[in-house]
Structure 1
């Protein structure tokens, strides 16, 4: 399953030829235009001299699936056809089409039951899809080992005390270089302006903080899912129900693109609940997240487990209700809930891109997860204590003599030592 760009299609066809030369039958799954691009190379691979067999059936086959209809011009099925003249919308539609290929991929897997799948790294969903069919999946990375090693000599927004075993594994077992210099959010001198777009009025911050000032310590749950996460109307409805059922006061950041009147998603009675103004405060668009997380009234953070949000919560000593959606978020949830034990999982299982649909989680489940985190039971007490302890370590790491302070100094020393004289 190669990505739709020449630098990915061509080496995958060559790879299939090598597999076939060793006696394997290979099928390349692609779309009509891309099939035309690779067909000459596939025909060459099927020459009996290339794969060393006189079998009448081709050793390398092409299985064509329709390119998803997302509103792109006909034939625009390969990245090489996208130019700035097409506008900013076309690349986004192209990415959407890539995500929608999971359904024909699933159908192919069910009908053909291959022994293994080699899929491009850009098809991130293919790992889960292959696993669901019980088929091993190998990822094709269209880069050199050198480039991969360079990309994995990283400056990381983390700190040693947060994940010491994995720092050791990364550096010693994998042999990769890394400098942990975080949590970098703690370096900000003005949390009120951190990350705030120029067109955002200060009254958003002032109104929210004034509302929180009237609340008891640890009583408010903050709900925010980052910049790119979207929810269906059905999901929003259940989330609103869950917040209502939890009995907790809440600050909820809703995407600015979500309908303002709530007619598509607001459950019965929720508009009246918000109109009273005592239980909830809704922010549309950007929110002063670091200020909210560090407010005395905050008792929990419902998050998508994006790494920036997770680190900001750790720095503030705030425990989390975890609701991952895509990318690295499910890995981060494992760290937060099972390793660090500073969070409670809401039970999300389906990995999907921002452009795909998700399973709807019921309001009762959402309310129950908030209750487990912020209630007076042993589980909540333990999670909150660990979160506070980890916050102390995070702040210490950034101070003079701390682990991140020292790592940053060593990085600077090494970079300065490499400077050419003069």
Structure 2
């Protein structure tokens, strides 16, 4: 379907200004465009080139997706000039809160855009709770995009409602998440700091605003598929009575090598060089190690990872983030002569990697991940078992889904939620976990389950699949809303 269709639905997408939020939003825009919806992404000047490059390459979608640019008040907010992305300041809580406060200034320009264009729907990130009222002002349905799983949404809601973490005697005492399928156990120290804290903070207030805005919104779009977490999809919609549509995995809209390579920032390695290295390896023989765009591990921890990988005897691709300030620094985390020692067996990528391209390669047989939902779902979609190493956000919840519910991963043993680094994991634990997902009977069982889920993920987005059908239902609901609005 093309833009000449007179009754074409028009969607506004407003992602939070962080790569982990923008990447799935761009995928959503591609998905909507492929189904004949006219989609506009709202972003800021510095972020526009990052999220538009993959769309410009796709002529089929170029006419279906455009951009609206609004200015971000970096300097006024006390942030570095040109700082328009959370990834730049996430290691400092003070700067992170300044960044969140600065985003509230985007309310007025958003209202101007909504009044001018009057889209049929606004899909706004969970970190923009004020978007619900802004959309309501013009009679526009606001959808929330959390960028996480039904499982995590259910855990979060149950913790807020029942507060079981306040009934245990210590941070290390396990408790069962009440009124949730699966007998899910957590510890207080694994919960986000804004849930653990008794005192009201800026972030706890933001969290409450987000919860209230979600309840008052038109519904939620979830980057997941029904077969992955049926009990929790049902719980969210039936027990918690929240309107939601599962439309994922949205990363599957990227079908060829170029689409996969262009997701996110500019890769620090040429995709052809990366594929050439992988092509030289046997199926399921390489473990991929990556901690996302925000986790910040110290030099001592990186050194332990290098020694753990070496001791495991496994072939690996390891993505290590460069210094955030762009300054050259001595690589004191890398043992002397390490790269020469593992030459041919290990590939270190410093910076950004084409993750989906790597995970989808048949040579990759395991994934060491921080359990961010984008990475977790990409691992599921690729059909690879995981070593779970959560750091912050809802990552400890995602770990439970992977290891306890899906049984396609093994925990490295991290126990403490932390904005910077988390628990220190020794090389022996890393070696053990890597071997567990790569070799032996347990690895074979996990890989078998993971591959089955990967096949389900691909079927879900095909015609008549669960996510394809739920997206149809969502489009029909929007069309009905527009009809009802037209009659009034």
| TM norm structure 2 | 0.58
Distance in 2, Cα, partners of 1:144 & 1:255: 30
1:207 aligns with 2:273: yes
Q: Deviations over 1:360-379 (max 9, x none)?
A: 21111101001111112x22
3-state SS of the aligned residue for 2:226? Answer: coil
Distance in 2, Cα, partners of 1:347 & 1:202: 30
After superposition, the Cα gap between the structure-2 partners of 1:187 and 1:82, relative to the gap in structure 1 and judged at 3 Å, is closer
After superposition, the Cα gap between the structure-2 partners of 1:308 and 1:85, relative to the gap in structure 1 and judged at 3 Å, is closer
1:266 aligns with 2:334: yes
1:125 aligns with 2:193: yes
Distance in 2, Cα, partners of 1:230 & 1:336: 22
1:97 — aligned with what? 94
1:402 — aligned with what? 465
Q: Which of the numbers 434, 446, 454 marks the counterpart of 1:391?
A: 454
Distance in 1, Cα, partners of 2:389 & 2:402: 11
3-state SS of the aligned residue for 1:143? Answer: helix
1:83 — aligned with what? 76
After superposition, the Cα gap between the structure-2 partners of 1:303 and 1:350, relative to the gap in structure 1 and judged at 3 Å, is same
Q: Indicate if the aligned counterparts of 1:192 and 1:288 stay in contact, CA closer than 8 A.
A: no
Where structure 1 has 5 or more consecutive residues not aligned to the other structure, the ranges are 1-79, 101-122, 132-138
Q: Which of the numbers 252, 255, 258 marks the counterpart of 1:192?
A: 258
After superposition, the Cα gap between the structure-2 partners of 1:195 and 1:339, relative to the gap in structure 1 and judged at 3 Å, is same
Q: Indicate if the aligned counterparts of 2:91 and 2:296 stay in contact, CA closer than 8 A.
A: no
2:474 — aligned with what? 411
1:10 — aligned with what? none
1:333 aligns with 2:399: yes
1:169 aligns with 2:235: yes
Q: Deviations over 1:294-320 (max 9, x none)?
A: 111111011101111111111111111
Which residues of 2 match residues 359-378 of structure 1 at below 5 A?
A: 359-376=423-440, 378=441
Q: Indicate if the aligned counterparts of 2:385 and 2:446 stay in contact, CA closer than 8 A.
A: yes
3-state SS of the aligned residue for 1:210? Answer: helix
3-state SS of the aligned residue for 2:414? Answer: coil
Distance in 1, Cα, partners of 2:370 & 2:346: 20
How far the C-alpha of 1:125 sits from its partner, in A, is 1.1
Distance in 2, Cα, partners of 1:218 & 1:323: 21
| TM norm structure 1 | 0.66
After superposition, the Cα gap between the structure-2 partners of 1:228 and 1:369, relative to the gap in structure 1 and judged at 3 Å, is same
Which residues of 2 match residues 308-347 of structure 1 at below 5 A?
A: 308-347=374-413
After superposition, the Cα gap between the structure-2 partners of 1:417 and 1:314, relative to the gap in structure 1 and judged at 3 Å, is same
Distance in 1, Cα, partners of 2:248 & 2:336: 44
User: Highest Rg: 1 or 2?
Assistant: 1
Q: Deviations over 1:394-413 (max 9, x none)?
A: 11111111110110000000
After superposition, the Cα gap between the structure-2 partners of 1:245 and 1:144, relative to the gap in structure 1 and judged at 3 Å, is closer
Distance in 1, Cα, partners of 2:214 & 2:442: 41
Distance in 1, Cα, partners of 2:74 & 2:274: 47
Q: Indicate if the aligned counterparts of 2:90 and 2:96 stay in contact, CA closer than 8 A.
A: no
How far the C-alpha of 1:261 sits from its partner, in A, is 7.1
Higher mean displacement: 256-265 or 326-335: 256-265
3-state SS of the aligned residue for 1:256? Answer: coil
Aligned residues: 311
Distance in 1, Cα, partners of 2:210 & 2:368: 39
Q: Deviations over 1:62-109 (max 9, x none)?
A: xxxxxxxxxxxxxxxxxx998247645699499523899xxxxxxxxx
Q: Deviations over 1:8-47 (max 9, x none)?
A: xxxxxxxxxxxxxxxxxxxxxxxxxxxxxxxxxxxxxxxx
After superposition, the Cα gap between the structure-2 partners of 1:198 and 1:175, relative to the gap in structure 1 and judged at 3 Å, is closer
1:113 — aligned with what? none
1:358 aligns with 2:422: yes
Q: Indicate if the aligned counterparts of 1:204 and 1:283 stay in contact, CA closer than 8 A.
A: no
Where structure 2 has 5 or more consecutive residues not aligned to the other structure, the ranges are 1-72, 98-190
Distance in 2, Cα, partners of 1:394 & 1:306: 18
Q: Indicate if the aligned counterparts of 2:245 and 2:471 stay in contact, CA closer than 8 A.
A: yes
2:225 — aligned with what? 159
